[in-house]
Amino acid sequence: MTWWSALLGLLTLALALAVLHRPLGDYMAWVFTSDKDAKAERVLYRMIGVDPRAEQTSGAYLRGVLMFSLVGVLLVYLLQRTQQWLPLSLGLPAPSEPLSFNTAASFVANTNWQSYSPEQTLGHTVQFAGLAVQNFVSAAVGIAVAVALIRGFASRRTATLGNFWVDLFRGTFRILLPISVIGSIVLIAGGVIQNFNGFTEITTQAGGTQSLPGGPVASQEVIKLLGTNGGGFFNTNSAHPYENPTGWTNLFEILLMLAIPFSLPRTFGTILGDQRQGRAILATMAVIFLASLAALTAFELAGSGTAPQLAGGAMEGKETRFGITATTLFSTTSTITSTGAVNSMHDSSTALGGMMTMINMMLGEIAPGGVGSGLYGMLVLAVIAVFIAGLLVGRTPEYLGKKIGPREIKLASLYILVTPTLVLTGTALSFAIPGVREDVIATSISNPGVHGFSEVLYAFTSAANNNGSAFAGITANTPWLNSALGVAMLLGRFVPIALVLTLAGSVAKQDKVPATAGTLPTHRPMFVGLLIGTILIVTGLTYFPVLALGPLAEGLV
């Protein structure tokens, strides 16, 4: 019966995604190919001195991304450090310098890692003027970079990739904002709160008192999920009944996380003029997603151990209103995208179940991944796959009519090495530096031993992959973790973006070569299988040794 319940929820979700896939994908393609600007957009262009018709090279596009993101980090940091003087601060003091840096880096990098309890740390102004704004624009940056890479493959002998500022504004105001307004209304109807109340003291049935926080939750909840951001208004995120009250709102929130990432392959095919390529990417994403969901659900339903068996399942850290299958669907979605939202505590998952949430991130969050970042990550891995295929048959590899030469393969190789380097280095330093090790073991880890190692490994995996979820047992509000995770988030976001835009510029300069008898078809099931194998071997096996030290060691005991 439990598996039937899981299947029913999955089929409902798949039907909704199928309905959205074509219209949303084609709409996004129109947004980024239209030559017409809205009046409000033209006003904004004049205000910042941008010519919307001016095309940018990959270097200029990258400079726009970096300058805009740097300003975002500074503004979010400033809002936090001056919180006590802002309206609607709820009497809360300013967060510390390391915590403010970590939070600013987190939200600008589309990671939304939270080393703090939001309702006890940040007032309403910082929440909606700082964090919610970054939820929109950081997501729009990811979509813009993906569109720039698509243009690179679709173009012929050009040195430009479009205009970052145009792509940023269109992604924000034409895609993310309209959907968020509609989604907020749906969530309010489902019981998610939306107000500007502070803390309300109530008397419980037992005669005690409890302080209940209020705030503009529904409006922030939608973009947190739609933009695959993940930072919750409350500390318990989407496990909180004010953020996620019922079973159907839970399914709706899962739909929000998947809607844009699963529709972007359609956008890719439409702009490219070949929907077969988009369907191949979509099929690859779907196969990996379903395999991950099946594995996580099986591990959690098995619930090895006496206590889970007596309780009828591994329900520790899970909400009874969702149960195991709705929880594993949410957990798979939030970690296989770059969302990081949680409706359960991953620290309480079974050892192998917690490992699956890590693996979802370690694969690069590409199935379907974050808004934009999932698609451009998958396309980089497609470049690796055709290169491997070219080596096997002794031909110069090609993808979408563009030759994959030494420059392209170097950029793709560097892309897949960035996050493992950050994850493994950050984890190693946390245990290798004497003073840091003592602090991590004494302060940050709540479960010493193998599980404690997994908590730190999960933290750096989440930060470097721009996910933002955590094994809830870790205390990350320390000078070392605030600083180290903040650096990992910034490097894990912007170094890959720099490599992707450089790759886009490189292929844009090429002319398209005609297909020959020796050209590998990249729209057939054989290529889908090759791409899946490449993902598992090239990215997955990178982490196998460190997984053997943590969740595998714990799960196989």
Query: DSSP secondary-structure letter at 468?
Result: -
Q: Exposure of 521 by Cβ count < 10 A (0-12 exposed, 13-18 middle, 19+ buried)?
A: exposed
pLDDT at 303: 72
Structure confidence at residue 304 (pLDDT): 56
**Contacts (Cβ under 8 Å, ≥6 apart) of 2:** 301, 323, 324, 325
Helix (H, G, I), strand (E, B) or coil at 389: helix
Say if residues 161 and 152 touch (Cβ distance below 8 Å).
Answer: yes
Nearest residue to 167 via CA among 23, 90, 267, 316: 267
Per-residue pLDDT in tens (0 to 9) along the chain, 557 residues = 577 777 888 999 999 999 999 999 999 999 999 999 988 899 999 999 999 999 999 999 999 999 999 999 999 999 999 999 999 888 899 999 999 999 999 999 999 999 888 888 898 899 888 999 999 999 999 999 999 999 999 998 998 999 999 999 999 999 999 999 999 999 999 999 998 887 788 887 787 888 778 888 899 899 999 999 988 888 889 999 999 999 999 999 999 999 999 999 999 999 999 999 999 999 999 999 999 999 999 999 887 555 565 555 678 888 888 988 999 999 999 999 999 899 998 888 888 999 999 999 999 889 999 999 999 999 999 999 999 988 887 777 899 999 999 999 999 999 999 999 999 999 999 999 999 999 999 898 888 888 889 999 999 999 999 999 988 778 889 999 999 999 999 999 999 999 999 999 999 999 988 887 778 889 999 999 999 999 998 877 889 889 988 888 888 76
Q: Tokens standing for 373?
A: 């970042």
Q: Nearest 5°: phi and psi at 199?
A: -100, 130
Cis peptide preceding 397, ω within 30 of 0 = no
Q: Are 184 and 223 in contact (CB under 8 A)?
A: no
Structure tokens at 318: 């899970």
- Provide the 10 A C-beta neighbour count for residue 81: 17
Instruction: Locate 256 and state its tokens.
Output: 């929000």
Secondary structure letter of residue 176 according to DSSP? I
* 495 to 66, 145, 264, 415: CA distances (angstroms): 10, 12, 22, 8
What tokens were used for 290?
């379903």
pTM (2 decimals)?
A: 0.94
Q: Please, are residues 263 and 20 in contact by the beta-carbon 8 Å criterion?
A: yes
Give residue 123's identity as a one-letter amino acid code: G
Report the 10 Å Cβ neighbour count for 55.
Answer: 15
Predicted local distance difference test score (pLDDT) of residue 446: 81
> What pLDDT, on the 0 to 100 scale, is given for residue 216?
86
* Residues 6 or more apart whose Cβ sits within 8 Å of residue 34: none
C-alpha distances in angstroms, 365 versus 159, 352, 480, 509, 540? 30, 18, 26, 29, 11
Q: Which residue has the tokens 């994850």?
A: 423
Q: Residue 94 corresponds to which tokens in the numbers above?
A: 């300013």
> Coil, strand or helix: which one is 318?
strand
| Predicted pLDDT at 392 | 80
pLDDT at 159: 87
What's the pLDDT score for residue 499? 98
Which one-letter amino acid corresponds to residue 533? G
The crossing angle, in degrees rounded to 10, of helices 275-302 and 373-393 is 100
DSSP 199: E
Q: What is the pLDDT at residue 28?
A: 97
